[in-house]
Amino acid sequence: MPGRSRGDQLSGVGAPAGSGSAPPPQLSPWAPLRAPIFRMLWIAVLASNVGTWMQTVGAQWLVVHQGDAARWVSLVQTASMLPVLLLALPSGTLADTFDRRRLLLTVQIMLLGAGTALTVLTALDRMPPALLLAFTFLLGVGQAVTLPTWQAVIPEIVPRDELPSASALGAVNTNLARSAGPAVAGLLVAHIGSAAVFGLNAVSFTVFAGALLAWRRPPQSGAAHAERFGPALRAGERYVRFSPVVRGLLIRVTLFVLPGSVIWGLLPLVAQQELHMGASGYGILLAALGVGAIAGALLMPRIRAWVSADQLVVAAGLVYGAALIVIALVPDQVAVGGALTAAGLAWMTQVSRMNASLQLFLPNWVRARGFGLYQVVFAGGQALGAFLWGQVTEWSSLRTTYLIAAVVMLAGTVTVIWLPMHDGDGADRSPAIYWAEPHLMLQPHLDEGPVLVTAVYRVAAENHEAFTEAMRAVRGSRLRTGATRWGLFRDGEAPDRFVEVYQVPTWEEHLRQHEGRLTGSDEEAEERAQKLARGPAEVSHLLPADYAD
């Protein structure tokens, strides 16, 4: 808890986002690739993503000739996304607790083993659909750990002002993989078989592992003690729960991804049943999606300059909804290819904007956990959507399913009227250490708790209302960084005396508030409240009465 002595403020990556200054000049969308470390890892991730998409296409095509193809195809998509839904938050907790490079390297080695086993069994014709789903789930577990960890690494190797471009390049990476992976997989499946696709996916993990071995991650500053898994998991959940910006982004992602997943989940059936195309044709359709996404990534810097976040939500939703309608009503290969290109552009611009906003907003100490929850929502929307749209197709028809998804997409777009975007572009997210170190006569153990912290403020009568309003932002800061309960009270005997009270689970959690969880925005919120009080706050730390010193 702050005394009013000021500590040194840690610098963030690059300059903090502006606070009312003129917008910076547009950066090249390729600017982050000038950094050798980012370029090397970006290429390695591209190889891994290509392999992953080849694996998905190979698995889907392996079951597309089953009697109940719609169910099996959608279950492949669900099996690949379900691990992210279940494990992304624990994975993000691991990435915020342990060395991120070593964690990524360990996962790639495990994925190599699983991919090799899948290849051998498929080549031996010992891969029934149920076992294929089990391997797909296992590979998805590896992706569940990789995704939030890689997203948390990016701000370590890219300057802050290049993060939007880095996010767009991430989308380019993904969609190049979506274009090249399925196209190559379609050719290999048609001429060799799915085993070759699975084998190349296994090789892709070695490429990523090699790049990680070549990267020498510098030592990371932080708290003196590594966070334990359980408290770290709960801290990540509390941060998101009390962060309106993050919650708003997650809601917006859900409203877009849930209906949008119909394309990724059921496109093999569109290729086979509506357009009468084979594996190669399916690859071409996915390539059309990728072309649109890459075009959107190249246009992203200009789009960010031309339109607001809310306007982008509306434009992306309308374009994607219109594309779904075309796919449903126009069974023509060229028309569907054009619609998929437009859908890819809309998907990329919307998802890339959400991703960049989250990278810019989340502080480093909780970044992987925040991205873990983002991946839970993103993958959950895709997995649930793929399953639901598969069921709707069994009950009705493929065309009806796409029309229903279009209606849901357009309805979600309209909600921007009531749920506008607040991406926190102007917030200072650099870490700030400005609380005075607590000096206690008792020396509590790190596990001691709960700890009750009080701060007494003297506020003149004319500032009472403004002070109470300013303390709302302080409340959010306390709850995001460790407090489980918070209250502001007024002394009945001394009306100018306000008492802030909040409870932290353990002494260790409170020390983490002192050691780096706070940001420049938190400091600004406290300063606004403090300026309305007379003199510094009087701070006390209350330990349990049965504490034995």
Report the number of secondary-structure helices (H) and strands (E) in the chain: 16, 4
Is pLDDT above 50 for 15? no
* pLDDT score, position 17: 37
Is pLDDT above 90 for 335? yes
Give the confidence band of 128 by pLDDT, cuts at 50, 70, 90.
confident
Residue 283 tokens, joined: 């690859």
* pLDDT score, position 21: 40
Residue with tokens 């600004």: 524
* pLDDT score, position 159: 81
Q: Is 10 exposed, middle or buried (0-12, 13-18, 19+ CB in 10 A)?
A: middle
* pLDDT score, position 497: 94
* pLDDT score, position 102: 87
Average pLDDT over residues 34-53: 85
DSSP for 12-72, please give it.
-SSPPPPSSSPPPPPPPTTGGGGSHHHHHHHHHHHHHHHHHHHHHHHHHHHHTTSTTHHHH
pLDDT in tens, 243-273: 988 998 999 999 999 999 898 788 888 888 8
pLDDT in tens, 429-476: 777 888 888 888 888 888 888 999 999 999 999 999 999 999 999 999
Spatial CA neighbour of 109 closest among 4, 209, 33? 209
User: What average pLDDT does the chain have?
Assistant: 82
* pLDDT score, position 22: 43
Give me the percent of the chain exceeding a pLDDT of 70. Answer: 89
Is pLDDT above 80 for 38? yes
pLDDT in tens, 377-434: 887 788 788 888 988 988 888 999 999 999 999 999 999 888 887 755 567 777 788 8
Give me the percent of the chain exceeding a pLDDT of 90. Answer: 24
Helix (H) or strand (E) holding 206: helix 194-214
Q: What distance, in Å, lies between the first and last C-alpha atoms of the chain?
A: 21
pLDDT in tens, 163-206: 777 877 876 777 677 667 766 777 777 777 778 888 888 888 98
Task: Report the residue count for the chain.
Answer: 549
Of residues 88 and 508, the one with the higher pLDDT is 508
Residue 470 tokens, joined: 């300013």
Is pLDDT above 80 for 83? yes
| CB of 265 closer than 8 Å to CB of 129 | no
Average pLDDT over residues 340-344: 92
| CB of 295 closer than 8 Å to CB of 168 | no
* pLDDT score, position 225: 61
Average pLDDT over residues 102-129: 88
The dihedral over CA atoms of 315, 321, 323, 325, expressed in degrees to the nearest 10, equals: -150
Q: Is 39 exposed, middle or buried (0-12, 13-18, 19+ CB in 10 A)?
A: middle
